[in-house]
Amino acid sequence: MNDEARARIAANDKLLKALITLLAIKDPDLLDELDLIFTIAGDEDSPIGEADRRTRDHLRKELEMIRTLASKALETAH
């Protein structure tokens, strides 16, 4: 993978996190609903739920980081 591809992937990752954070600020239940979707999809052998342990761990950490960021943003706004 070249540097351009790495930079594009990193930028997309940050943009998606920012978008999910913004949506979570607007809808505080969003992250719980995302957790539920991944749980249901995993139970039903859906492609969105298919993931190895490392992927699930990473996803859980990412969602927790977004949850913390959204919570701090809401506290700052009020």
Give pLDDT tens digits for 11-42.
999 999 999 999 999 998 999 998 888 888 87
The pLDDT tens digits of the residues spanning 47-63 come to: 777 777 788 888 889 99
pTM comes to 0.76
pLDDT surpasses 90 at 64: yes
pLDDT at 78 over 70: no
**Domain limits, the chain:** 3-77
The answer to whether 53 and 45 are in contact (CB under 8 A) is no
In this structure, what are the phi and psi dihedrals at residue 28, rounded to the nearest 5 degrees?
-60, -20
More confident call, 45 vs 65: 65
